[in-house]
Amino acid sequence: MHQQVKETLERRTQQYETRANKAKKRVAFDVGDWVWVHFRKERFPAQRRSKLLQRGDGPFQIVEKVNDNDYKLDLPGEYNVSATFNICDLPPFSDSTDLRTNPSQEGG
């Protein structure tokens, strides 16, 4: 009976994983790629003190791949934060992508 319960649990877990990961796409960057940086309130309190301020900045170049989820960016010193970011905070850069609240703004 224990073996049957264990097999059922493993089968159900596999089904849950398949359903949960069905819509996820695997994103990976290489050294030299350009990405945006998403401003989180916890990490960038000065840049996110109002809902009307920009939510991202960039593009910045990837300098080093720490592991599959973490990348080190060529970030200017004005931000005063670590240059290592999780992949969930790094949307890929393309010419048509602009994360600024007002696209007519110059700079960031």
pLDDT reported for residue 70: 93
DSSP label at 5?
Answer: H
Read off the pLDDT of residues 87-98 as tens digits, 9 standing for 90 and up: 888 988 886 545
pTM of the predicted model over 0.85: no
Q: Where are the domains of the chain?
A: 34-89
Check pLDDT > 70 for residue 107. no
Angle among Cα 104, 78, 31 to the nearest 5 degrees reads 80
pLDDT score of 4 more than 90: yes
Could you tell me which residue, 49 or 74, shows the higher pLDDT? Answer: 74
C-alpha–C-alpha distance, residues 91 and 87, integer Å:
8
